[in-house]
Amino acid sequence: MTVARLLAIAALLAVVLGVLATSTNAEGDGPIVVTRDSGALPSGCTPRETAELLIRLADAVTSGEAAALDMLFTTDDPPGRVDGADGLAFRWFSVTEGRVGDRPWRHTVFYDRAPLFPYFAERHRQNERWDLIAVDMGASSSRRPGGVGIGYTIRRSADDLPESVAEFARGKGEIDCVAQRIYLWSMGQDDGATFTFGTGCPLPNGWSPGDAVIACSRSLKPGVRTGSNARALLPDFRVLGGSARLPTRCGSAYVTGRLRSALSAFNSGRETAFAGHFATRALFHPYGLTEALVGRAAVARFVDARYEQGEGWTGATLRAPDRATTRAFGGIRRKVASYRLGLLLSRPGEALVASSAGVVVDCDSGLFQRWIDFAKRV
């Protein structure tokens, strides 16, 4: 898939989410291409948001802007090394450069944030430059609530670096997603003779470092039930339209709650729970299949298989009807409400896909009588 194609998908996702978005980073310096997004990352640490944060860091390091750097590192800073699992305290900042025999040419580490800023000032005097190339993100290795772990590749240069070091530095870190501040940073720049370029993200066809910043969520391992493949609803999930005259179990509040529960079950591989949101003989047309899956057992088998492939469904918007209608299901006429659910579909190794589904809700039971996806994915 080309960079141009991925940017077109990003524009389509902006329409689905109902927000204005551009293909450039926060500084307007060039595009950010998201090549995988599970939808399961906390708000503030989506692939695009994390790339924008690291671009701000790279720009601040290059320009030597102390005030900007101060805003990018967490302010919770107990003295000395902090190894406990509680809180999002500053842990460390380290840089390891080059090799001399079996030892680093230079190793710098701080366990408190105060020495960071004289260090960055000195690096600026050495004309240090950073350019973010790629970043991937997933669960915090320290299991800290509100934090994510990142892996990154940066093009790094400075006047005092040996000519033998590689053009690129790589490392890991962790970010407080609410504050959008870094509390752990560990970076290494190997000897150029042994360095091989790579990132944790799928790369577009024809891409080379510097064409665009690549960002992605980490892939869940297919075949292992490691938890949720995606979040059920986006943080800015919105209900559009609707009427207060709808029966309670066809109303937007009730339907939103049921959809949240159903999508959570889908994303965590709880196939029986997902199927339980459907009427006994409901019709399910996943991914645009013309021949419906009928009944809960068939729905459950589908969910089980898709979870094992690492797929996730995330609700983005919900368009509600203005009134209920009467339709025949199984030879019985029922009062129903027809909703349109905006969806983001994720799968390991692939870009996020924008889709939607028509969901018909039974006003008596609140169960789904029919679900039709409009994405042609197999």
Residues 202 and 266 in one domain: no
- pLDDT for 24: 44
- Give the number of domains in the chain: 2
Closest to 56 measured CA to CA, from 180, 218, 185: 180
**pLDDT band at residue 12 under the 50/70/90 scheme:** very low
Same domain for 67 and 134, yes or no, is yes
In this structure, is residue 314 part of a structural domain?
A: yes
Residue 222 lies in a domain: no
Instruction: Indicate the residue among 167, 193, 217 that finishes a domain.
Output: 217
**Which of 217, 241, 260 is the endpoint of a domain?**
217
Dist CA 316 CA 49 (whole Å) = 17
Give the confidence band of 101 by pLDDT, cuts at 50, 70, 90: confident
Rounded distance between C-alpha atoms, residue 237 and residue 227, angstroms: 22
At 207 the pLDDT is 86
Q: Per-residue pLDDT for 5 more than 70?
A: no
Check pLDDT > 60 for residue 220.
no
Q: What is the pLDDT of residue 291?
A: 83
Instruction: Check: CB of residue 77 under 8 Å from CB of residue 92.
Output: no
For residue 66, is pLDDT > 90? yes
Question: In terms of residue numbers, what domain contains 241?
Answer: 233-373
Report which DSSP code applies to 217.
Answer: E
Give the Cβ contact number of residue 336 at 10 Å: 22
Q: Encoding tokens for residue 48?
A: 């695009």
Residue scoring higher pLDDT (279 or 140): 279
Does residue 74 lie in a domain region? Answer: yes
Is 148:42 a contact under the CB 8 Å cutoff? yes
Average pLDDT over residues 245-272: 90
Q: Which tokens hold the place of 136?
A: 């991937």
71-85, 155-169, 204-218: which range is least confident on average?
71-85
Q: Which of 217, 247, 262 is the last residue of a domain?
A: 217
Residues 206 and 242 in one domain: no
Same domain, 187 and 248: no
Mean pLDDT value of segment 311-323:
91
Specify the long-range contacts of residues 99-103, CB closer than 8 Å, at least 24 apart.
Answer: 99/190, 99/191
Residues 9 and 153 reside in one and the same domain: yes
Q: How far apart are CA 135 and CA 269, in angstroms?
A: 28
Rounded Cα–Cα distance for residues 216 and 277 (Å): 32
pLDDT at 18: 32
What is the C-alpha separation between 81 and 93, in angstroms, rounded?
11
- Is 59 within the bounds of a domain? yes
Q: Are 161 and 85 in the same domain?
A: yes
Over 70: is that where the pLDDT of 378 sits? no
Residues 71 and 177 in one domain: yes
Q: What end-to-end distance do the CA atoms of the chain give, in Å?
A: 18
Residues facing residue 288 across a β-bridge: none
Whether the per-residue pLDDT at 264 is higher than 90: the answer is: no
Indicate if 131 and 53 belong to the same structural domain.
yes
- The mean predicted confidence, pLDDT, of the chain is 83
Q: Is the pLDDT of residue 377 over 60?
A: no
Q: What pLDDT, on a 0 to 100 scale, did the predictor assign at position 234?
A: 86
Q: Mean per-residue pLDDT for 351-368?
A: 91
Q: How many CB atoms lie within 10 A of CB 25?
A: 21
**Contact of 202 with 35, CB cutoff 8 Å:** yes
**% pLDDT > 70, the chain:** 83
Cα 199 from chain centroid (whole Å):
16
Does residue 220 or residue 109 have the better pLDDT?
Answer: 109
Whichever domain contains 28, its CATH number is: 3.10.450.50
Do 158 and 287 share a structural domain? no
Which of 42-46, 314-318, 320-324, 358-362 bottoms out in mean pLDDT, i.e. has the lowest? 42-46
Mean per-residue pLDDT for 344-361? 84
> How does pLDDT run across 133-165, given as a tens digit for each residue?
999 988 777 666 778 899 999 999 999 999 889
Q: Which two tokens stand for residue 162?
A: 């040996």
Average of pLDDT values for 353-366? 92
CA dist., res. 84 & res. 99, Å (int): 31
**∠ CA 33-36-41, rounded to 5°:** 105
Q: Quick check: is 121 in a domain?
A: yes
Rounded Cα distance between 200 and 61, Å, is 24
Residue 224: inside a domain, yes or no? Answer: no
pLDDT surpassing 50 at residue 277: yes
- 212 and 237 co-located in one domain: no
Residue 226 lies in a domain: no
Same domain, 251 and 202: no
Tokens of 352: 């996020």
Looking at the structure, do residues 134 and 72 belong to the same domain, yes or no?
yes
In a domain, 69, yes or no: yes
